[in-house]
Each structure stands twice: as structure tokens, then as C-alpha cells.
Amino acid sequence: MRDEAAFTAFVAARGPALLRLGWLLTADADAAQDLAQEALTRLVRHWDRLTAGSQQGNPEAYARATMRSIWIDSWRRRHGWVLEPLATTADDASPVTDPQDASSDRLDLDRALRLLAPRQRAVLVLRFYEDLTEQQTARALRISTSTVKSQARDGLARLRTLAPWLDPACLDPATPDDETDPEREVVR
Amino acid sequence: MTLHDALDAAAEQAMTGRRLDATVALARARRERRTPAGLLRAVAGATLRRGPAALAAAAAVLLLVFLSWPALGRQGESGGGPAGRPNAPVGIPDRLWKPPPWTPLVTDRPIAAAGVALLDESGNGYLVSADGRDYRRLPVGLSRLSARFVVLSPDGRRVVWGGEGRLDGPATGSSAPYGPSVLHLLRLGGPAREIRLPDAGLGSEIAQLAWAGDGRTLYVTGSVVTSLVGNGAFKIDRRIWRLTETADRTWTVTEVCRSCETGITTRADGVLVQADPGTVPRLDPAGTTWRTDAPGVWTVPGPSGQFLLEPGGRRAVAWANESNNWPPPTWMLAVFTGRGSDLAPGVKRLALASSDGIPDVRLLTWTDQGILAVFTRSASYRVETTLEWASPQDGARRVITRVTTTGDGWALPVSVSARVASSGVVVAGGRPSTSPWTPDALRYLVFTTTSGRIVLGGAAMLSTVAVLRTGIRRRKATVRRGQSPRS
């Protein structure tokens, strides 16, 4: 790598965003850190190509796509990335009663995300956090577009049950414009 | 607050205090790049990124190989030219080696005519061209069993090989003692035909093969299991079949004899001669009774195993055990003289010195030069095999070919075409390549690659793996269905 300082600066600046994506994908802090670190290792190999020359790319988009593919591959291999057992099941999970408590919000969204099926959570994260189109989500997860739609619908419905304190408008997000810009990649 | 914001806030809070370490990523990348896998990945990645350039380079290499094909071909051919060329001398090679595994298949690189057929200890069959310089491998994998027999037609342009059911073994759970017997008939330059000998569903076993003089008729003797008696015992019936090549290059199988002995050979005029025919009724091709006094049917008293007729058909020779006493058994070459329509019982013994230590003799053919046979003798922890002429008058023997055994095994001559044997010529045997990195092997490798065999084989393997993997995953998914993946 020619410019290690630039890479270090990139990690310092965009590392938290990658960690957040890792947590949303894995719902586990340690696994999220491992996932992001692995993606960074792979990014190093392609850093020069992505940051220099006429075909300059977007390192963060590359890292995010790498994290998604690593996680999806591992999830598909293991049929669900089982990290730790839960004491409660989805049916007996009770909603939070104090919607104003940010800490409680976080904990319960965490729990609600964990109680989603992996594919539902993957669809929600890719569609509404990574802002991928339905086609891109379907391609990434290697499922059909109609499955993406149904999984998103079911996942949102489940979130409404598990986390009723969330703003209903938040759980009825506007559908991203799938047809006009199918290849867009949003970078935060 | 949007769902995106809610997720982001939850993730931010969950990952508070966590950070990514750039130095760790850099160190890991450096370490992986130093490993062979890392270097390979780097090269592959670079190649893929430079897709058009890599494709162009590969195309250039392929183009170069194909352009140099004729030159490679000339280098790979032996000095005497391809086998079967009119000007090439035809004869028995003075040396025979076991061909290496990379020897080309005869179906991929045909030869015009074969002079000698070899069989190695693993049941792989090989052909040596009529000029003794080129080796070819038989596609024995077609039969799913090791070849037990490889027999050349008199003109060396056809070859039959096959295995008996015993090697294949009965199917699991089956009470049949044998599997089916399979023969492969190949006209050099044409496709191989697979023929299963008819049986009663309980398997069969091939005993002997004999080509008729025209090279389009083959006689096969063998045993068919007719019934199971119980306790693993079974009844067999000895049969003789005739395989005839039709005008459209297919082969028809006809049963010519039932309950007959197994020793057969063919006379120069193509007539089938049977050893010790016994007394049980048998059928000829027309379905009438095969009579021992019928025209064209000879009986040979004495040994019922392998025997040969002289070109004139008046004498026969057999390799026989003269005495049943042990030790030591006394072996002899017995020559029977014809008298009338039968061969007389007067036996002429061709002496073999006891010090020869010959445990086995395989009779190949009888020509005007004498009796051509393979003699195998043990000598201090190794086996020496020679191809020799034996005189029918006094048993004097003359060595023609020494079979060179190597550390990786041996291949013995099991058949010589009558055309080559009757020529009486001994030619310098070409040694097969000792290295796979020869133009011939390179051409073979490129040919198999470009003909898609490796690609197809790889695709088949990947497909199988994919199907198995999918099945396993679906099974697991079925088991887990209805459960939370995290429960």
C-alpha cells in the first residue's frame, strides 16, 4: 500500500459507521467489530486501486459491500449466524413501557432486532439502513424481489409488535425509488 | 425519526467504546500477502482486474500452441513414421516396456494397426503399433472393470478387451455370484462398442477369446450361471458365442454352443475348433445339433485349455502339465499330429529344461516361423518375461523380445497379430516416453483440455458438490423451520 496514512485516516473517520453497520447486521458488538475489521483487511488489498488512478472508487462503499457479503455468506453457510441463545422467544417478548428512555429504546430495539429472523433483519437493514433497492437487496441476499418485499413487510410488522414505542411513521418508510436509480450506493 | 435514524442510533449506542484498528488491518494484510494463498489471491485478483489483457494472453498462448501443433506432431512421432504406413517395416519389437500413465488413448490418437497387445498388473491394456514404435492405451475405464483379456484380430486392426463379472462383483444384496461380462470391441480409428454377453441374470464369466481369420468374427467361451443351488453354491453352463461385425459396424451375438468345453481356437480358414467337446448336446448358429463329426468341427484330445493350430491345421500345440505329481510338476509343450479329421492322440513333447524355472507359458500364435509364446520365469526375486519362437520339431527356443520391467510394474504381451507374427521380422522397439513433459504428452494435455474433458469433468464435479450441498442445506433448513435462528 502506498498511502497508509490515508488508510488510517479513513478508518478513523469512517470506522464508527462501519461498526454500526456491523452491529445492525450481526446484532452483536464483538461480531460486528470482527466483521468490520475483516472488511478493512480486505480493503487494504484494494486500497491503491480504489483511491488512485483513473478508475478511482469509493473505499467506504467497497468496505460496506464487503461486510455485507461476508456476513451474508457466513449467514447462509450457517443458516443463521447463531451467536448466543436468547432467554425469551418472540411470542413472549413484551414491549417497552418507557418510550422516552433512550437507553431502554436502544435495548429494546436491540432485542427486537435479535428476535427477527435473520433474513428479515437482513432485508430491513439492507433496504432501510443501507438504502439498497429491492433489486439490489434481492441480488445481495440471492433471493427474489417478491421475497424481499414480503420479508420487509413482515419484518416491519414484527417490529411494530416488538417495539410499539417506535414512531409508526418510522415503520412505514417511503419506498426507495427502485426503478429510477437501481445502482445507487448511499454512503454516510 | 425514520427507521434509518432509529437503527443508526441503536447501533451507535451499542457500539459505544468500540473502535477499529487500522494498524491491525494493515499488519494482517501484509501477513496474508506473504503466504502462498495470499500471493495466489493477489495474482488472481490482478489477473481478473486486468481481464482483457489476461484473456488476450491466454488466447495468444492457445493460438501459439495450435499453430505449432504440426511441428509438435512431427517431433512427437517416432522416426519410423506412423504405424500402418505402407513403407513402415512391420514386425515384432525386440523390446517392450510398460507404457507410462500419460500414454495417449488409442481412441484419441488412433494407430492404423497394432502388432502387440500388452496387459499390466492393474488390468490396463495397451497396444503397440505394427512397426513397434508407438504405444497407445486402451480405454479400459469404459468397462468399469480391469481388463482380463486383450486380443488382437489377425490383421491387427481390431482389438477386443473385457473383463469377467467376478471382478465387478455381484451387486450388494444380490445372490448372483457374478456380475455381467462385458466386452469392448474397437476397430482402430473408429468408436469402441460395448457388448454384454447374454446370461440368465445371474452373471457370467469369460474364459477365452479367439478371432476368426477374417477379423470380423470373434468366438467367446465362458460360463453362465444358470441357477443358484443354495448356501452360495450355483450351477454353471459353459457356452460359446460368436460375435459378428455387420455392415453397419455393429456387432451381433449368437450362441453357437451350450454345455461345451472351453478350449477353442480358430483355423486359418476361420473354422472354429474346439477342445475336448464332451458329449452334451450343443447348438450351432442355425439351431441344429452341433455334432463332433460334422464338417468343420475338429476335436482335440488331451488338454482342454489353451491350444493353437498350425497354419495348415494339421497339428495343434498345447501347454500342459504332464504329471499331476507334486513336486515338481513337469510341464511340456505338447504337439498333436492330425490324422484324418481328428487330431491323433500321438503327442510329441517339447522338452523344457527343468532349470528354466518357467512357471507360465502363454501361447500366442503358430506361424511358419514356429510357435510364438510368452515365457515367464522367476529368477531371484524378479520375473523375467520373454517372447520366443519355439520350434515344433525339437522345442528349440529363440528369444525375440525381452520385456523390460521397471520399478512401477510390468506389462506383458498377451496377444500378437497374426500379420505381424507371420512376417517373421523383428524390428527395433521404440521406448515409450519416460517423462510426461514431452511434446506428445503436452499435445495430449492440450487436446484433452481443449476438447473440454477437463472442463466437463470439473463442471460435473462442481455440480455434484452443489447438489449435495443444497440437499444438506435444505435438510438442515427443514429441521430448523419454525425456530428462531437465535433460539
B16 close to A (CB below 8 A) = no
Residue A95 pLDDT > 80: no
pLDDT of residue B333: 65
Q: Pick the more confident residue, B458 or B85.
A: B458
A182 in contact with chain B, both atoms CB, cutoff 8 A: no
pLDDT at A2: 73
What pLDDT, on the 0 to 100 scale, is given for residue B357? 60
Which chain A residue shows the shortest CA-CA distance from B485?
Answer: A80
pLDDT score for B344 = 44
Contact residues, chain A, for B471 at CB < 8 Å = none
Higher pLDDT, A97 or B286: A97
Query: Do residues B26 and A24 make contact, with C-beta atoms less than 8 angstroms apart?
Result: no
CA distance A17 to A60: 9
- Range B194-211 average pLDDT: 82
Q: Quote the pTM value.
A: 0.51
- pLDDT of B483 reads 47
Does position B114 have pLDDT exceeding 90, yes or no? Answer: yes
DSSP state of A97: S
With 0-12 / 13-18 / 19 or more C-beta atoms within 10 angstroms meaning exposed / middle / buried, residue B246 is exposed
Whether the pLDDT of residue B127 is over 70: the answer is: yes
| Res. B115 pLDDT band, cuts 50 70 90 | very high
pLDDT at B326: 41
Cβ pairs bridging A and B (under 8 Å): 143
| Cβ contact, residue pair A19, B6, below 8 Å | no
Q: pLDDT band at residue B322, thresholds of 50, 70 and 90?
A: low
Among chain A residues, CA nearest to B17:
A16
The predicted-structure confidence for B137-183, as pLDDT tens digits, reads as follows: 888 754 444 567 889 998 899 999 876 544 444 444 555 667 778 88
A65 touches chain B (CB under 8 A): no
Listed residue (B12, B11, B6, B3) closest to A127, CA to CA? B3
pLDDT in the model for residue B459: 79
Mean pLDDT of chain B: 71
CA distance A79 to B457: 30
Please answer yes or no on whether A79 and B21 come within 8 Å at the CB atom.
no
Beta-carbon separation of A15 and B19 below 8 A? yes
pLDDT tens-digit profile of B16-44? 888 888 888 888 888 776 666 666 666 66
Assign B350 a pLDDT band (cuts: 50, 70, 90): low
Chain A residues in contact with B12 (beta carbon < 8 A): 16, 20
Q: Which residues of B touch A12 (CB under 8 A)?
A: 22
Question: What cell does A82 get?
Answer: 447463531
Q: What is the mean pLDDT of residues B274-279?
A: 46
Q: How confident is the model at residue A183 (pLDDT cuts 50, 70, 90)?
A: very low
- Per residue in B81-111, pLDDT (tens digit) is 344 455 678 888 988 888 887 788 888 888 9
Cell of B405: 520391467
pLDDT of B283: 35
- Contacts with A, B 213-252, CB within 8 Å: none
Chain B residues with beta carbon closer than 8 angstroms to that of A40: 20, 22, 25
Q: Work out the pLDDT band at B267, boundaries 50, 70, 90.
A: low
SS (H, E, C) chain B: CCHHHHHHHHHHHHCCCCCCCHHHHHHHHHHHHHCHHHHHHHHHHHHHHCHHHHHHHHHHHHHHHHHCHHHHHHHHCCCCCCCCCCCCCCCEECEEECCCCCCCECCCCCCCCEEEEEEECCCCEEEEECCCCCEEECCHHHHCCCCCEEEECCCCCEEEEEECHHHHCCCCCCCCCCCCCEEEEEECCCCEEEEECCCCCCCEEEEEEEECCCCCEEEEEEEEEEEEEECCEEEEEEEEEEEEECCCCCEEEEEEEECCCCCEEECCCCCEEEECCCCCCCECCCCCECCCCCCCCCEECCCCCCEEECCCCCEEEEEEECCCCCCCCCEEEEEEEEECCEEEEEEEEECCCHHHCCCEEEEEEEECCEEEEEEEEEECCEEEEEEEEECCCCCCEEEEEEEECECCECEEEEEECHHHHHHCCEECCCCCCCCCCCHHHHHHHHHHHHCCHHHHHHHHHHHHHHHHHHHHHHHHHHHHCCCCCCC
Q: What is the pLDDT of residues A36-69, one digit of tens each?
A: 998 998 898 888 888 876 656 788 888 998 998 8
ipTM: 0.77
Q: A77 to chain B: nearest residue by CA?
A: B473
pLDDT of residue B291: 47
pLDDT at A106 > cutoff 90: no
Supply B173's cell numbers: 444384496
B 34-93 residues with CB < 8 A to A: 41-42, 45, 49
Question: Could B486 and A110 be called an inter-chain contact, meaning their C-beta atoms sit closer than 8 Å?
Answer: no
Specify the long-range contacts of residues A74-81, CB closer than 8 Å, at least 24 apart: A75/A118, A75/A122, A76/A142, A79/B473, A79/B476, A79/B477, A79/B480, A79/B485, A80/A118, A80/B480, A80/B485, A80/B486, A81/A26, A81/A31, A81/A118, A81/B485
The residues facing B415 across adjacent strands are: B117
Residue B84 is predicted with a pLDDT of 46
How many alpha carbons fall within 13 Å on the CB side of residue B17? Answer: 3
Are the Cβ atoms of B20 and A18 closer than 8 angstroms? yes
Helix (H, G, I), strand (E, B) or coil at A116: coil
pLDDT of A143 strictly over 70:
yes
More confident of the two residues B270 and A72 = A72
The residues, ordered by sequence, that sit 6+ positions from B402 with a Cβ below 8 Å of its Cβ are B94, B95, B96, B384, B385, B386
pLDDT above 70 (res A19): yes
For helices B439-450 and B453-480, give the axis angle rounded to 10 degrees: 50
Residue A118: in which H helix or E strand, if any?
helix A118-124
Contacts 24+ apart (CB under 8 A), A54-59: A58/A185, A58/A187, A59/A10, A59/A14
b/e per residue B155-171 (b: at least 16 CB within 10 A):
bbbbbbbbbbbbbbebe
**Structure confidence at residue B11 as a pLDDT band (50, 70, 90):** confident
Asked whether the beta carbons of residue A24 and residue B7 sit closer than 8 angstroms, the reply is yes
Measured between CA atoms, the residue of chain B closest to residue A82 is B486
pLDDT computed for residue B446 by the predictor: 67
Q: How far is CA A3 from CA A44, A46, A60, B27, in A?
A: 10, 12, 16, 14
Q: Which residues of A touch B3 (CB under 8 A)?
A: 124, 128-129, 156, 166, 170-171, 173
Task: Identify the pLDDT of residue A18.
Answer: 92
Decide if A37 touches B, using CB distance below 8 A: yes
User: Is pLDDT at B313 greater than 70 in this prediction?
Assistant: no
Q: Contact B484/A89, CB-based, under 8 Å?
A: yes
Separation between Cα atoms, residue B337 and residue B330, nearest integer Å: 21
The whole-number pLDDT of residue B60 equals: 77
Q: pLDDT, tens digit, for every residue of B59-86?
A: 777 777 666 555 444 433 333 334 445 5
With an 8 Å Cβ cutoff, are A81 and B485 in contact? yes
Q: A164 contacts in B (CB within 8 Å)?
A: none
Residue B415 has pLDDT above 80, yes or no: yes
What pLDDT, on a 0 to 100 scale, did the predictor assign at position B319? Answer: 65
DSSP state of A29: H
Query: Which residue in B5, B8, B20, B21 has the most chain A C-beta atoms within 10 A of its own C-beta, making it the best mutation to test that interface?
Result: B20
Interface test with B, best of A33, A129, A172 (most B CBs within 10 A): A129
Q: What is the mean pLDDT of chain A?
A: 74
**What local confidence, expressed as pLDDT, does residue B320 receive?**
59
Is A95 within 8 Å of chain B by CB?
A: no
Residues of A in contact with B13 (CB under 8 A): 102-103, 106
Any residues with CB less than 8 A from the CB of B479 and at least 6 apart, and which? Answer: none
B480 touches chain A (CB under 8 A): yes
Interface of A with B in 147-166 (CB under 8 A): 156, 166
Contact B4, A131 (CB under 8 A): yes
% of residues, chain B, pLDDT over 70: 56
Average of per-residue pLDDT across B401-414: 74
Q: Any residues with CB less than 8 A from the CB of B229 and at least 6 apart, and which?
A: B235
Structure confidence at residue A146 (pLDDT): 92
**Residue B485 binned pLDDT confidence (cut-offs 50, 70, 90):** very low
Q: Where is average pLDDT lowest: A125-139, B39-53, B284-298, B306-320? A: B284-298
Give pLDDT, residue B43: 64
Residue type, B117: A
Closest CA to B369 of B410, B418, B320, B326: B418
In the predicted model, what is the mean pLDDT of residues B201-214? Answer: 80
Cβ of residue A128 closer than 8 Å to a chain B Cβ: yes
Rounded to whole angstroms, the Cα distance separating B99 from B400 reads 19
Shortest Cα–Cα distance, B52 to chain A (Å): 16
What distance in Å separates residue A54's CA from the closest CA in chain B?
14
| Triad B90, B94, B100: Cα angle to 5° | 95
Percent of chain B with pLDDT over 90: 3
CB contact under 8 A, A41 and B32: yes
